[in-house]
């Protein structure tokens, strides 16, 4: 009997990589997504007999409950992602990012397993030189970080749950996003050849979108020894400041001009470094580093029409 997985928001940036990956691993996958960005990213999956699609909104709790009924694993990806989009529609952010996840947790049976991606943006502003671990108190500074952290708290009060605190994701996806930091900075280098940085010393951690997909299958495969706790998922080689990230990009785009401004502030004030030792100790290892991701993005930018590929 094949394991049945429900992925809400499965046609998004992460889901468009994760869902084909799950199918190749032999799972039966149902995607539940309202296609709010008019994306058609999962068309290549439609010929697969184990792929199913429900065009619906997670705020429709009766449809969500019905979709969950016979599933073994639940992966709630559906969210309004990022501080700018969340601030643009605060009521929807709360309803989708937090309330729909809490509803799913209430509806599910004790046997149904949940793997939930939250965000290490919940760490907010870290202490200089100190790594944020899974024991570090969450102090989100955006509505996005707050709603994801509140959903995580609810889930971890239950059984059969793994939560992943994802680093800032990068890399190409069929539902591409150019508003993620590595993707954004690399596109600026590719298209404009210059960037003006605000608070260039601010740091954060990064992870490739395909390594996120691998983290989910790692969690499914190792569920019993990982359950009922949270894991940071990021590149331990990539706790980088914005300036350090730009310098990595410049290695592949030599005419990329980088300058700083002291006049304005970055609207995203996150600043932290993260330890990923907990999940790495179990055997999970990312496969894609920053440099290979930048190489991939530069190739992809020769194909993209960029006005289509941001959340806001």
Task: Provide the whole-model pTM.
Answer: 0.95
Distance CA 14, CA 125 (A): 25
pLDDT on residue 82:
84
pLDDT on residue 268:
67
Parse the chain into domains and list their residue ranges: 4-170+207-233, 181-204+237-273+288-308
For residues 297 and 183, is the Cβ–Cβ distance under 8 A? Answer: yes
In the chain, which residues have pLDDT < 50?
A: none
Residues 6 or more apart whose Cβ sits within 8 Å of residue 131:
239, 273, 274, 275
Q: Give the CATH H-level superfamily of domain 4-170+207-233.
A: NAD(P)-binding Rossmann-like Domain (3.40.50.720)
pLDDT on residue 121:
82
Identical fold for domains 4-170+207-233 and 181-204+237-273+288-308, yes or no, is no
Residues 6 or more apart whose Cβ sits within 8 Å of residue 195:
185, 188, 189, 246, 256, 257, 258, 259
pLDDT on residue 221:
97
pLDDT on residue 309:
62
For the domain spanning 181-204+237-273+288-308, the CATH number is 3.90.25.10
Question: Which residues share a beta bridge with 229?
Answer: 162
Question: Which residues share a beta bridge with 131?
Answer: 273
Residues 6 or more apart whose Cβ sits within 8 Å of residue 310:
177, 178, 179
Long-range contacts (CB closer than 8 Å, 24 or more residues apart) made by 253-257: 253/186, 253/189, 253/190, 253/193, 253/298, 255/193, 256/189, 256/193, 256/194, 256/195, 257/193, 257/194, 257/195
If one counts every other C-beta atom within 10 angstroms of the C-beta of residue 244, the result is 14
pLDDT on residue 109:
96
What are the C-alpha distances in Å from 187 to residues 100, 200, 206, 218, 294? Answer: 34, 18, 17, 31, 10
Using alpha carbons, select from 59, 74, 149 the residue that is nearest to residue 105: 74
Residues 6 or more apart whose Cβ sits within 8 Å of residue 95:
59
């Amino acid at each position: 009997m094949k394991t049945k997985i429900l992925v809400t928001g499965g046609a998004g940036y992460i889901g468009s990589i994760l869902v084909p990956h799950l199918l190749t691993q032999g799972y039966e996958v149902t995607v539940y997504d309202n296609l709010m960005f008019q994306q058609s990213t999962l068309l290549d999956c439609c010929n697969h007999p184990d792929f199913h699609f429900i065009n619906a909104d997670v705020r429709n709790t009766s449809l969500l409950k019905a979709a969950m009924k016979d599933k073994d694993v639940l992966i709630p990806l559906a969210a309004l992602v990022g501080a700018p989009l969340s601030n643009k529609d605060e009521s929807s952010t709360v309803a989708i990012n937090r309330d729909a996840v809490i509803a799913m947790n209430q509806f599910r049976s004790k046997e149904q397993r949940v793997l939930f991606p939250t965000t290490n943006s919940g760490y907010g502003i870290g202490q200089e030189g100190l790594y944020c671990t899974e024991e570090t108190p969450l102090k989100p500074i955006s509505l996005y970080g707050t709603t994801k952290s509140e959903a995580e708290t609810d889930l971890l009060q239950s059984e059969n749950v793994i939560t992943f605190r994802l680093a800032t994701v990068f890399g190409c996806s069929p539902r591409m996003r150019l508003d993620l930091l590595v993707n954004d900075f690399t596109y600026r280098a590719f298209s404009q050849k210059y960037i003006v940085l605000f608070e260039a010393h601010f740091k954060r951690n990064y992870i490739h979108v395909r390594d996120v997909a691998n983290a989910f299958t790692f969690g499914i495969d190792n569920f019993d020894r990982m359950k009922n706790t949270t894991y940071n998922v990021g590149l331990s080689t990539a706790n980088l400041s914005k300036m350090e990230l730009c310098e990595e990009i410049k290695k592949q785009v030599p005419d990329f001009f980088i300058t700083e401004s002291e006049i304005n502030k970055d609207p995203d004030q996150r600043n932290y470094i993260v330890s990923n030792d907990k999940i790495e100790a179990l055997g999970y290892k990312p496969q894609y580093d920053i440099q290979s991701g930048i190489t991939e993005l530069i190739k992809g930018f020769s194909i993209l029409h960029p006005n289509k590929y941001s959340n806001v």
